[in-house]
Amino acid sequence: MTRSGLRTLLLIVLGAGLLSVGWVRCEGTPPTVEAPDQLILGKTGQTVQFTISDSGAGPKSITAVLVHAKGEEPLGERTLGIGRWLPLGSPAANSAEFSVDPKALGLADGEAALHISARDHSLRGWFSGNEARLEIPVTIDSRAPRVSLEPGITYARRGGSVALAYRVSERTRRDGVEVGDRFFPSIRIGVEEPADQRGPGWRIALFPLPIDQPGATPVVIAEDAAGNRTQATPQVRIEERHIPEATLVLPPRFLETKIVDLADAVGVNPDDPLKAFQEINSRIRTENEQRIRAVIRDSVPVPLWEGAFEQMANSKVTSPFAEKRNYLVDGAKVSESTHYGYDLASLAGSPITASNTGRVVFADELGIYGHCVILDHGLGLFSLYGHLSNIDVTVGDRLEKGQALGSSGQTGLAGGDHLHFALLLQGDYVDPVEWWDARWLRDRVDPKLAAARPSR
């Protein structure tokens, strides 16, 4: 190549480069800003994140100004890198954050707006770049919801159920009762609403005192959308529970026939019946309990029950609630469990009826519970019927108190014909004895239902 040829080539390359750079650095497309639709700021303030993308020269800077009733508060400017000289593939993106703390800025509660301006590295607009503007509505709310509890002392028992009524002054994103490390949401009777957007007014908290939270006392909490939180301590006198222990000796016949059959049915290797029993009593039991929790996640927000629950007719209690069971083979402990229901025995194949009015939410095989039916009684209360020999209802059926749902049997992990009856409240097993007692319902639950009723 000649000297002048080389020069021409260099000029062409340089010219093309300048054109390309010029084209990128003079583009006219403003950046896009990803930001929250709105901000609700509470007592503690918030850090707000932004993502700025630009398909041309790249994001340059972003500024934020909080505009409120009494003026403006600049929150600063963030620079976003050096930009780019060639339009390479996907848009360039940068993130930035601003902390907004109305209390530190001395702002009163009310409405405000966050004004955002983002610029890119284009040379347009007299070298200031293309601009994207955004206005985000802001609500400043530093006051926590007020909680008014129904006065009076509530008596309760560990493993049992508690009803409380209270009123909340404003919309909440979360309110209910904490017991130890557990949380049980309250219910506005008859109201279907998103769990995180609950209207103000009266509600009922119907919740268990789980036996795995000994010594824990309930605390009512309410949180609004801004994260302001109130807590109130109701006067609940709790009688702790003595946990009875029982020893169950597993006969060879039970392991070799019942367990081998059940192992086959639930997909456990039956070759070693004792190992199969241990796996059924731990892993399969846990899986079955998880399935139950999934089935009972949703309950109608009205009480479907009428009066006391009914115990199985002519039945004898063969095992009480919350009994700790130790299983023995040849005098050695091989497994353990906690019995979260009542075992009720009568004649083999006895009719099993709905303990109260409710809707069938489960009617199928359920591992250790065998043929099993679960009813929703509303407000998070469910009854479970296990070991049935046959089921006469299907999911969706509405049953009246006393209406037949099947017959007793010994399907699942059962050593003889009996009904395993259990009540679950907000996901935890509770002692059915209280719900069988008309007086307990009349004294402890009905007044709270009346106090929390929607017309009030």
Residues forming contacts to Zn ion in the complex (CB under 5 A) are: 341, 343, 420
| Tokens encoding 220 | 């009512």
Closest approach, Cβ 419 to Zn ion, in A, equals 8
Closer Cβ to Zn ion, 378 or 386, answer by number: 386
| Tokens encoding 443 | 């004294």
3-state secondary structure of 386: strand
Burial class of residue 113 (count of CB atoms within 10 Å of its CB; 0-12, 13-18, 19+):
middle
Closer Cβ to Zn ion, 98 or 385, answer by number: 385
User: Around 299, how many Cα atoms within 13 Å sit in the side-chain half-sphere?
Assistant: 30
Closer Cβ to Zn ion, 116 or 345, answer by number: 345
* Chain centre to alpha carbon of residue 231: 20
CB atoms near residue 219 (< 10 Å) = 16
Closer Cβ to Zn ion, 202 or 321, answer by number: 321
Alpha carbon distances (Å) from 205 to 212, 288, 358? 20, 27, 20
Instruction: Measure the CA–CA gap between 69 and 156, rounded to whole angstroms.
Output: 51
Closer Cβ to Zn ion, 159 or 341, answer by number: 341
Task: Give yes or no for a contact between 394 and 422, defined as CB atoms under 8 angstroms apart.
Answer: no
Closest approach, Cβ 412 to Zn ion, in A, equals 9
Closer Cβ to Zn ion, 80 or 433, answer by number: 433
Closer Cβ to Zn ion, 343 or 434, answer by number: 343
| Tokens encoding 172 | 């909440």
Which residue intervals of 328-383 are DSSP H helices? none
Closest approach, Cβ 298 to Zn ion, in A, equals 25
Q: How many residues does the chain have?
A: 456
Biggest CA pair distance of the chain: 113
Closest approach, Cβ 354 to Zn ion, in A, equals 18
Closest approach, Cβ 384 to Zn ion, in A, equals 10
Alpha carbon distances (Å) from 257 to 40, 264, 272, 281, 414? 63, 11, 12, 16, 12
Instruction: Measure the CA–CA gap between 136 and 37, rounded to whole angstroms.
Output: 6
Closer Cβ to Zn ion, 150 or 287, answer by number: 287
Task: Give yes or no for a contact between 147 and 222, defined as CB atoms under 8 angstroms apart.
Answer: yes
Contacts of 440 (CB under 8 A, 6+ apart): 434
Closest approach, Cβ 375 to Zn ion, in A, equals 17
DSSP per-residue codes, 127-189: TT--EEEEEEEEEE--PPPPEEEPPS-EEEETTSEEEEEEEESS-BSEEEEEETTEEEE-B-T
Closer Cβ to Zn ion, 129 or 341, answer by number: 341
Closest approach, Cβ 418 to Zn ion, in A, equals 7
Closest approach, Cβ 301 to Zn ion, in A, equals 30
* Paired strand residues for 198: 172
Closest approach, Cβ 253 to Zn ion, in A, equals 20
Which residue's Cβ lies closest to Zn ion?
420
Q: What per-residue string of b and e applies to 343-361 under the rule 16 or more CB within 10 Å gives b? A: bbbbeeebebbbbbbbbbb
Closest approach, Cβ 181 to Zn ion, in A, equals 27
Closest approach, Cβ 295 to Zn ion, in A, equals 18
Closer Cβ to Zn ion, 50 or 369, answer by number: 369
Residue 442 DSSP one-character state: I
Closer Cβ to Zn ion, 184 or 327, answer by number: 327
Task: Give yes or no for a contact between 426 and 292, defined as CB atoms under 8 angstroms apart.
Answer: no
